[in-house]
Amino acid sequence: MRSSENNFSKISLAKILSVTIVVTVMAVNTQFSIAVHIMAALAHRCGDKDITSGDLAASVNTSPSFVRRVLARLSKSGLVETTMGKSGACALAREPKDVSLLDIYRAVGAPKAFSIHDYNEQKACAVSCRIKQALEKALDKTQTAMESGLADISLKQIVSDMRRN
């Protein structure tokens, strides 16, 4: 094999081996479910005075620092009361019957149920130019229905369902 043929083969092989595969992964936001888990744990252990972020982290199977960040949002929204420091603890600020899943959803700033992909419109394609507006209407309606459903479910109902299972 001549040198020029060898270089051509190396270049071709390099092109083949350097193909980049782009995979889009949709991030799953679990803050809402973790917040409900935390709130349910607090409701389930209602009356226990010293529930710490470490106790809750063990239940959720995550770090105490992550639990504290979620608790900060729940506290800011008036759903939990926390005490800081070495002997810090937390408790529900309201009765479980007075806390809806929508309250928790909004407290943690959970994202919308669905989002529209970001892309540059292809002017030559009618679908590409109009799908966002059409889909926004449908997704807004879906989001409203979901939030209405969350508003109808109380933390007390979640804890009751946990105890039955």
Q: What is the pLDDT of residue 145?
A: 95
Instruction: Look at residue 96 and tell me if it is in a domain.
Output: yes
For residues 42 and 82, the answer to whether their CB atoms sit within 8 Å is: no
**Would you say residue 155 lies in a domain?**
yes
DSSP designation for 100: B
- 13 located within any domain: no
**Predicted confidence pLDDT, tens digits, the chain (165 residues):** 565 555 555 555 555 554 444 444 444 578 899 999 999 999 988 666 678 888 899 999 999 899 999 999 999 999 999 887 776 788 999 999 999 999 999 999 988 888 888 888 889 999 988 889 899 999 999 999 999 999 999 999 999 999 887
The CATH number linked to 86 is 1.10.10.10
Q: Which residues fall within 8 angstroms of residue 55, CB to CB, at 6 or more apart? A: 41
For the range 156-161, what are the long-range contacts, defined as Cβ-Cβ under 8 Å and sequence gap of 24 or more?
156/43, 156/95, 156/96, 156/97, 156/99, 158/36, 158/40, 158/43, 158/101, 159/40, 159/43, 159/44, 159/96
**How many domains in the chain?**
1
Q: Considering the domain boundaries, does residue 16 fall inside one?
A: no
Q: Is residue 17 part of a domain?
A: no
Does a structural domain hold residue 25?
no
Q: Does residue 40 belong to any structural domain of this protein?
A: yes
Q: What angle do CA 157, 163, 165 make, to 5 degrees?
A: 105
Which residue in 65, 59, 64 sits closest to 33, CA to CA? 59
In three-state secondary structure terms, 144 is: helix
Q: Look up the domain containing 63 and give its range.
A: 30-164
10 within domain boundaries: no
- For residues 60 and 156, give the distance between their C-alpha atoms in angstroms, rounded to a whole number: 19
3-state secondary structure of 83: coil
Q: How many CB atoms lie within 10 A of CB 159?
A: 19
CA 103 to chain centre: 15
